[in-house]
Structure 1
Amino acid sequence: MSKLPADPVSPAADAMTSWAGHTARSRGFFQVLVALTAAGVATFAQLYAPQGVLPRIAESLHVRADQAALMISVATIGLAVGVLPWSWLSDRFGRTWAMKASLVLATLLGLASTAAPSLELILLLRALQGLALGGLPAAAITYLNEEVHPHSTPMAAAMYVSGTTLGGLLGRVVAVPVADAWGWRTALLCVTLIAAVGTAVFVVMVPPARGYRRGGAHHLPVLRAVAASLRRPDLLVLFLQGFLLMGGLVTIYNYMTFHLEGPPFLLAPRVVALLLFSYLAGTGSASLAGWLARRLGRLKVLCGAIALQMTGGALLLSLHTAVFIVGLVLFTAGFFAAHAIAAGWVGYRATVGRSQAASLYNLFYYAGSSCFGWACGLVYVFAGWPATVATVLAMAALAGGLAVWQLKGER
């Protein structure tokens, strides 16, 4: 770390608000990536840890698959509701303050939820935890656009998304074997302790904000900024990318465990847990998407990522385990590449009310997770896996069509 070059900015220039941002290979850029990766792990490990053990939760609490999935949905809807208030707080008190407060509060609520005696109390605490977790996605992309040089922002945004995939993977793969040995409550406790470590790393590593200006020229009152973003068709289409594509991803990961543990697969839970390593494909694809977008343009990469996601989704209809695995890897890689492009594009295009625009993207993103994650469970329960996959493919096709219609000619 001592060999990394310092950021090219003088104190005088910084004082005059001419901060250009951390450049790639600088010390500050490295600290930003490490801090946000740790924060992504802490956030998304907690958010999605129950997903890998939903059959255990359903069996233990004697509920249906769609009812067990409320463990995910209440947390994600809490996060969706929380992003706009957190964006206001981050505008008022700073991005780093908001992210630190978010992670600490969410981790404390996570610890409390593992000891809650009833399902109703667990769901309440999970909803509050999701509300707390909204601080990271509400501030992270805006923080990147303020603190990282514009030439390095696509790469930094992609690396941040990669960190979120690692968090989602870690939460799932740790929870499954621990749940098999000691129960799902102990599994969620272990994941929360890992999140506490990630929170500590973030607090120590995140560099002070130098591009943040409270009440600066690029800030609008919250409601005006929200209205301005929703009136822009280009931003609305980008928001819908998150809504539709994330809804499809959560649907597949929520219910594939039930599907694979039943006939004709009859896979053991620990074997199914190994399939969760397909998330690593998302880690790589998100970074690759940022690199490709600088060379080919964002729209081409977005559409290619959606096509890859749909190809993988179609393979999930196979009754052969090997083909299913290939499909899951392609589906996951396509999603995270598309998400990295869409999230970064919002931050780039929203030059006014940027914090609220980024929060709106996250609101749509997690609203899709909550709504489709539960509603598609009804499709799975009453119509089966093929109908569930068909629904997800239709959602992806709609997202791609909207992008081509509204963003054609944009880079």
Structure 2
Amino acid sequence: MNRATPDVTPSSQPATGTASALPVWIRRGTPEYRRVSLALFLAGFATFSLLYCVQPLLPELAVTFAVSPAQSALALSVSTACLAVSIVLAGALSEGLGRRKLMFISMALAAVCNLVASYLPQWHALLAARALEGILLGGVPAVAMAYLSEEIDPKGLGFAMGLYVGGTALGGMLGRVGMSAMTEFWGWRHALALLSAIDLAAALGFAWLLPPSRNFVRRAGLGARHHLQAWGQHLRHPGLRLLFLVAFGLMGVFVSVYNYAGFLLGGAPYHMSQLQISHVFYAYLFGIVASPVAGALADRLGRGPVLVAGTLLMAAGVALTLLPAFAAVVAGIVLMTAGFFVAHSVASGWVGRLAAQAKGHASSLYLWGYYMGSSVLGAGVGWFWGRWGWNGVGLVSLAVLALVAALAGRVQASGKPL
């Protein structure tokens, strides 16, 4: 069987494709598949715990630095905004540098940057460190999606992508819950430093586990024109263009709900402690289960119906949180979380299938929309929180999800019938 040039072998000329080589797929159930799954679980854990570790700390940061809730949300939003930009550039860079090397460098340097941030005494210095961390982390998400699309057997891609997204859910949950627990006992600065050390170890484990790419062809010497053409081609694809907008809305609502849920539950009538609020993040467990299940269903039933169903489940969850009963709020967050991971795992896997080539560029554009939604809506919804409280957060979220559902319904007709 012919094999594509591995990413460890440089090429002096840009590759024109791999039409003459048959891909060597990693099939489900093999030892390589398990190594890839564990490696990308570590990548997801490190990326999401580093990026979102400040989310449960927003009330603490507001007190420590004497800023408003909306201003405290900038500790997350500046990271995701910079990440959105760097993802686009990292997707292009990975075409020449290689997938595995770029992901490892990004994870390791971001962990070091987070460690430095834990000791900074000034608010604006902390924001600057968080911005740099967002830039560094851009080398992981888009490249991870491209790696899976290139290396995993297409028949099992939905399940594999679901496992990766489920891994990010577990990383996000453990990072948030762990940060809250450690903050309760040792303070947020020590908690941030310890998490940074854990994520640096995860980066080393990732580099040891992940097999070299076999279907990736390194493209050296590619100029700006090549990358602009690749991005333009994806933006002209009607199905991909809609998925990029879907990502913006899904992630924007998801982050907005979690950003201000801490302020909601910490105030009247709930008056919960930081440690008690952290238990809400166990809702991520439902996302961990829902992601691979949604991916498998999408492989069998089609991605369009499952994407719409996930979006509607998110909307039902947000609507429940508008009820005053504590049980309704928690149940709503659980439903919203499960719906988000259903929709995101399907949409992210769909990008890899619709993009015929330059998959790293397509993934980077999807994640640009994903993290711009986190940044823009995550901070912008704070304006509605400041004026109308949780009702403002909920109603804006429902309006955005209504638009997302309409867009999701059009993707099936606009793209390939997958």
- TM above 0.5, yes or no, is yes
- The letter of the residue matching 1:221 is H
- The letter of the residue matching 1:21 is W
The partner residue of 1:50 within 30, 54, 74 is 54
Q: Answer yes or no: is 1:342 the counterpart of 2:347.
A: yes
Q: Secondary structure at the match of 1:138?
A: helix
Q: Secondary structure at the match of 1:54?
A: helix
- The letter of the residue matching 1:318 is L
CA distance in 2, matches of 1:17, 1:145: 16
Q: Answer yes or no: is 1:38 the counterpart of 2:52.
A: no
CA distance in 1, matches of 2:286, 2:394: 20
How far does residue 332 in structure 1 lie from its aligned partner after superposition?
0.2
Map 1:346-365 to 2 at 5 A: 346-365=351-370
How far does residue 13 in structure 1 lie from its aligned partner after superposition?
4.5
Q: Secondary structure at the match of 2:108?
A: helix
Structure 2, unpaired ranges of 5+:
6-19
Task: Tell me the residue number matched to 2:94.
Answer: 90
CA distance in 1, matches of 2:4, 2:79: 39
Q: Deviation string for 1:230-264 (max 9, x for gaps)?
A: 11221111011110010000000000000011112
* Alpha-carbon RMSD: 1.7
Q: Answer yes or no: is 1:213 the counterpart of 2:217.
A: yes
TM-score by length of 2: 0.93
Task: Tell me the residue number matched to 1:60.
Answer: 64
How far does residue 370 in structure 1 lie from its aligned partner after superposition?
0.3
CA distance in 2, matches of 1:89, 1:14: 19
- The letter of the residue matching 1:146 is E
Note if contact 1:265-1:319 (Cα within 8 Å) is conserved in structure 2. Answer: no
Task: Tell me the residue number matched to 2:238.
Answer: 233
How far does residue 324 in structure 1 lie from its aligned partner after superposition?
1.2
Structure 1, unpaired ranges of 5+:
1-9
Task: Tell me the residue number matched to 1:70.
Answer: 74
TM-score by length of 1: 0.94
How far does residue 273 in structure 1 lie from its aligned partner after superposition?
0.7
How far does residue 172 in structure 1 lie from its aligned partner after superposition?
0.6
Q: Answer yes or no: is 1:314 the counterpart of 2:302.
A: no
Note if contact 2:24-2:214 (Cα within 8 Å) is conserved in structure 1. Answer: no
- The letter of the residue matching 1:33 is S
How far does residue 14 in structure 1 lie from its aligned partner after superposition?
5.6
CA distance in 2, matches of 1:269, 1:126: 22
Note if contact 1:53-1:184 (Cα within 8 Å) is conserved in structure 2. Answer: yes
How far does residue 353 in structure 1 lie from its aligned partner after superposition?
2.3
CA distance in 1, matches of 2:231, 2:92: 11
How far does residue 178 in structure 1 lie from its aligned partner after superposition?
1.4
CA distance in 2, matches of 1:77, 1:360: 13
Task: Tell me the residue number matched to 2:13.
Answer: none
CA distance in 2, matches of 1:107, 1:265: 35
- The letter of the residue matching 2:210 is V
Q: Answer yes or no: is 1:195 the counterpart of 2:175.
A: no
Map 1:252-263 to 2 at 5 A: 252-263=257-268
Task: Tell me the residue number matched to 1:391.
Answer: 396
Task: Tell me the residue number matched to 1:172.
Answer: 176
Map 1:364-379 to 2 at 5 A: 364-379=369-384
Q: Secondary structure at the match of 2:54?
A: helix
Q: Secondary structure at the match of 2:140?
A: helix
CA distance in 1, matches of 2:238, 2:270: 44
How far does residue 377 in structure 1 lie from its aligned partner after superposition?
0.7
Q: Secondary structure at the match of 2:216?
A: coil
Identity level (%) = 37
CA distance in 2, matches of 1:350, 1:68: 38
CA distance in 1, matches of 2:109, 2:267: 38
Q: Secondary structure at the match of 1:272?
A: helix
CA distance in 2, matches of 1:13, 1:221: 25
CA distance in 1, matches of 2:190, 2:98: 35
CA distance in 2, matches of 1:111, 1:13: 41
The partner residue of 1:405 within 404, 407, 410 is 410
Count residues in correspondence. 400
How far does residue 384 in structure 1 lie from its aligned partner after superposition?
1.2
Q: Deviation string for 1:295-352 (max 9, x for gaps)?
A: 2110010011111111111001111111111111110000011000001100110012
